[in-house]
Chains A and B, each alone.
Chain A
Amino acid sequence: MSITQEMPEQPADERIHNFEEVALGYTEDQAMLEAERCLECKKPKCVEGCPVNIDIPGFVSKMKEGNFEEAIGVIKKTNTLPAVCGRVCPQEEQCEKLCILGKKSEPISIGRLERFCADREREAGVKDPVVAEPTGKKVAIVGTGPAGLTAASDLAKAGHSVTMFEALHEAGGVLIYGIPEFRLPKAIVKEEVEYIMKLGAELKVDYVIGRIKTLDQLEDEFDAVFLGTGAGLPKFMGIEGENLNGVYSANEFLTRVNLMKAYRFPESDTPIKRGSHVIVVGGGNVAMDAARSARRLGADEVSIVYRRSDDELPARREEIEHAKEEGIIFRLLNNPVRILEGENMSVNGVECIKMELGEPDESGRRRPVAVDGSEHVIDADIVIIAIGTSPNPIIFDGSKGLEVTPWGTIVVNEAGVTSLEGVCAGGDAVTGAATVISAMGAGKQAAETINDYLSK
């Protein structure tokens, strides 16, 4: 049985010196060869694995005919941001995991094909959409991450007058401030946002709901509201030395690099400490992105410190492999207990303790327990904390009645409706930190709900 086409990539020793994209994308020949492998199953398992149920055999079949225009049309019926998803979806856990070919050989590289179609369309120039007949209804979208963008796009297509409010100076949420350029070029996100504006949606950046206007005010001014405010509040560990100079949250580090372009300092005005020995605490995608960014900023040594073992690393395998190729050191079964203080309150190493895996915990993963007396110091001048985020409560300021869980996530029903009438929510703000595609799925669901609500 044939195996999957390898993704062409920038060589590791080159890419650690730039922020350009690592995965270069299939050539047309490769894309055709890969598409040919698909069996176009009658009951395609892969579709069940995709949170927005893209008609995968449908688009692949168009690709086989060489009809990329129709292929992207099929994809876009259910996925607004295919160029993004094709790059950052955890495909190996979703569509590709269930692909029937995966049982005996390798699954179809669905994400790569999706990316190919989207990139092909973009290169050819996306056609301007037909703007729908106005319904006269006004919808506010708060937050412009994948959830908000998807909801905005669907609601604008339905003819509603859509206004997007974004706290930062650029739309895109984590796609802009978090995920680095070398994994997701910002130009792609910008084009997606422009497309949504061509649908007639308005974008107000620099607009923090909860400060400049309250949610209550939005409810008065609009017929419906969607909250896609994400989970942007960084967690810290609460250990000694965490406020020292040189300790960053992954959010701050990545925001400086991505949103503020600190990697181009001093051409851009925002500085970042580049560091020579960088420690990143955590094992998810965010940790990988931070570590690989630090490497590109020129650190001599970058390590991931993670308290469980390689098997439990929550990041995508591909990202872990890429990180390893780029020389990131994995210090597994290690937990920081204290950050040591050097001159002028700066970081001078991290004291860690060795861990071993004990009995499984609630999450089913084996619980890490500290090994007594195994404390040791790792050299470091920069520490980046990437142990998770929770929803940012600023949106609730000055408004009443929105029900939230003890963890700060917004409570919604299956249709995406919150405890307030006419207010829906979705994405990380509801689930806690999750994935791009699940946020999009939630945005889509909420758009349907709002559309029904407004047509009543």
Chain B
Amino acid sequence: MAELGSLVSKVRSKNAGPFWLTVDVFCDDAATYERVRAGLQDAAVARLFGVDLQLLKRFDIPSLNVVKFSVPRPVVQGTRADRDMHGAGWACLLEEMEIA
């Protein structure tokens, strides 16, 4: 097991409009990408983000060595309960996730 952030070159999270969040995991090479792709389980990621598994969109992009997740924001950007206007903190959650 290893923290995802220790394996990959960058994890970035950002709003995709006020109603969606998107998180990109950038790997340096194909071997890391393959490990990360296999190690990131959709159910675990949905749980980590507190969203319904059915709403999790995932894109495995071997040409970029990138795994991308998009989810509807649990709290719409800028509403009373929103803590993170630009969705910055979600990358940290994924970076600190342990994967096989």
Answer whether A and B are interacting partners: no
Write the residues of chain B forming the contact surface with A, with a CB cutoff of 8 angstroms: none
Write the residues of chain A forming the contact surface with B, with a CB cutoff of 8 angstroms: none
